[in-house]
Amino acid sequence: MTAMRPPQAMPAESVVGAPRLVGRPDQFPAGAPAGPGRPAAPPRPQPAAVHQAVLCVNAPAMAASGPDGQLRGHGLHGFYRNGVRVVARMELRLGGMEPLPLQGTLTSTAQARFLGAVRLPGDLDPDPALSVERLRHADGVETVTVRNTGSRPARLPLEIALGTDLGPVAEIAAGHRRPDLPGQVQSAGLRWAGPAHSAVVSAKPSPHAVLAGAGVLRWDLEVQPGARWSVELRAELESTAPGPRPPGGRGTGVPLPWSEPEVRSDDARAGLLVTRSLDALGGLLFADSDRPTDLYPASGAPWRFGLAPADALWAARLTLPLGTRLAAGTLRALARRQQLTPAPGRTEGLLPGALRHGGPELPPTCTATEATLLFVTVLAEAWRWGLPRAEVADLLPAAERALAALREGQADGFVTDLSRPVEDRAAHPVAARAEVQAQAHRAALHGAELLEAFGRPGAEEWRGWAAELRGRFRERFWIDDLSGGRPAAGLAPGGQPLPAVASSLVHLLDTGLAADGGRHESLLDREQTRLLAQRLVAPELDSGWGLRTLSAKSPRFNPLGHRGGAVRVHETALAIAGLAEAGHENEAGTLLEGLLAAAAHFDGRLPEMYAGEQRTPACPPVPHPAACRPAAVSAAGAAHAVFALAGVRPDAPGGRVLVRPASTAPLGELELTGLRVAGAPFSVRVSRIGVAMVEEASPALQLVAR
């Protein structure tokens, strides 16, 4: 039920352009037995973990340490820029002692604060007289402040030991550590030179002594009672190798590519989740060096700190309620990378992407296929949210090329891997995954709408293509069982259904935004959708913290498996939105509660994934050691899960906006201000009984209740 007030005029895998994160191949497998001419292979290094690190991110820079703030050169520790470790060690000692760590926490995605305490030598007072605060920014700037709260002057040396290996993050991710480079004194600090890069750390005020051999900067401090002393350290990377400039971050003066919303709710967790998720996404923004205003999100830090087309498009799509600028920048950046001159036998129009592990029971997924299909959907939905017609028209040729790739990509009536040569697909067929059919079906319908609206041929052909796919899917992808049945996760090349129960099935609920704010027809009928909704909230998939990627009933279930049982925030968020739009609001509310509960344990900053352990009282969710944190898709998805409850579904070209909130009001009263529809501010309030009131909207929009 929706009450509307008339509107009134009212005054933002493979990684493109980033190092591949793979370890150095060993000659023999790790742990292989010794034999003639074959020495025992040493065990491979343990990959660096990130779940306990304090990680600051501001693309293209980041910094990581333990909660004590010391950079020790272990694992991921260090300052990084453009995939190179600028500083590996920055260890602070005051009077020869490391401060007692008291707190280490993020104050924003880009900045962290570390606080420690030191007792003065010979002080009889049990309370520490000195505090040491380190304010660290991802960009390589750290301010150290020593404060004396004691009753007598503090006279002692401050020493900061520095070192670096200038190692690439790809090697560090695999657990490899290069030896430190020798340091040289340079003005107010130290310098290290490598074959392709040099690093400089400078200090203000200048140190009283620089010990180049030990890599130590030293100040002889005298801090009076009640006084403080500070030094600013700045780490910079210099490139000495020729080549194209790497992508930069969001430049000074370039605004965020989305509006900054306010979320007020009876459930305070929702507002915190949205605020911190968008802060996390802001730290991942890159721009091509020659197009600084076209921003796009990196996949995640630290492991995929570059452009992964599928992830970038998902993040842009899920933030469309906050404006179309991120979508426009991402679409333009990817259109410049679209495959226009493919190798012989390969398909034109593809976006870059590699195979992604599909878990223990399903075949790999092709991120090039996912990105190519998603390009069409993001363009169509950005147009519905208000992307100007001229910008849509400029991008339409890239969407037509993506549709052409889809036309050539069918095998046995279903879509598999568009990146494989046509002859290879015919000679060596692979499984057809359910979510790929859903993405292809949605792209065909969105493509038809774009072609028709812009006077291009082919709209009816694509609608017919989608209808045929829908018929084949309902006939061949459904598995009957005692519970009423479920969709198969895929079809083997011979047509045998793959019975895995996986979170990837949520893509079948994501039918996409259509004309007048409606939904496209689903690959599932109404009863099949109801049965899938019940399956998603059953204990085999719902961990209580979100959806497992693989059913807990599977003999190959692994709660830490990337696709074998861990909870991926993105798919849980898609399930919440899809269930709410399909009318299964109670199920959506159940999954939302789990996501909010998990977010509270992660301080509102949900990682890419976490363990799919069953939720139990007084036991927090288990972090995943290899999860990106932040990750663009999980950050955007977490915010979208909250926005979806308001049910704002615009059709800016048609001058209409439908508002259909969740009548169960799982967050209680919910007010969203600062959204953007048709380029204008849009605000909506949903009452505790699920009634919506539009508080602010463009006067050119017709508000529709349904």
What residues form DSSP beta bridges with 616?
619
In the chain, the percentage of residues whose pLDDT exceeds 90 is: 80
Predicted confidence at residue 23, as pLDDT, reads 32
Q: How far apart are CA 144 and CA 230, in angstroms?
A: 5
pLDDT of 342 > 80? The answer is no
Domains 54-239 and 262-686 share a fold: no
* AA identity, residue 157: P
Predicted local confidence at residue 44, as pLDDT: 54
CATH architecture designation of domain 54-239: Distorted Sandwich (2.70)
pLDDT band with cut points at 50, 70 and 90 for residue 585: very high
Written as one string, the DSSP assignment of 400-433 is HHHHHHHHT-EETTEE--TTS-HHHHHHS--PEE
What's the CATH number for 262-686?
1.50.10.10
Domain range list for the chain: 54-239, 262-686
Reported confidence tier of residue 313, pLDDT bands at 50, 70, 90: very high
Using an 8 Å Cβ cutoff, are 693 and 687 in contact?
Answer: yes
Instruction: Confirm whether pTM is higher than 0.85.
Output: yes
Question: How much is the pLDDT for 120?
Answer: 82
Residue 91 or 11, more confident: 91
Residue 377: pLDDT over 60 = yes
CA distances to 97, 295, 331, 682 from 328, rounded to whole Å, are 52, 8, 5, 20
pLDDT confidence band for 346 (50 / 70 / 90): low
- The mean of the pLDDT values for the chain is 91
User: 343: pLDDT confidence band, cut at 50, 70 and 90?
Assistant: low
Contacts for 343 with CB less than 8 Å, ≥ 6 apart? none
Mean of pLDDT values over 222-249? 92
Q: Distance between CA 162 and CA 159 in Å, rounded? A: 10
- What is the per-residue pLDDT across 94-132, written as a single tens digit (0 to 9) for each? 999 999 999 999 999 999 999 999 988 777 778 899 999
- Mean per-residue pLDDT for 299-312? 95
Q: Cα(411)–Cα(432) distance, rounded to whole angstroms? A: 9
Q: What is the pLDDT of residue 24?
A: 27
Using the CB atoms, write b or e for 115-150: b if 16+ within 10 Å. Answer: bbbbbbeebeeeebbbbbbbbbbbbbbbebebbbeb
Between 256 and 7, whose confidence is greater? 256
User: What's the pLDDT tens digit per position in 459-468?
Assistant: 999 999 999 9
639-688 pLDDT per residue, tens: 999 999 999 999 999 999 999 999 999 999 999 999 999 999 999 999 99
pLDDT > 70: percent of the chain: 92
- Compute how many other C-beta atoms are within 10 angstroms of the C-beta atom of residue 160: 25
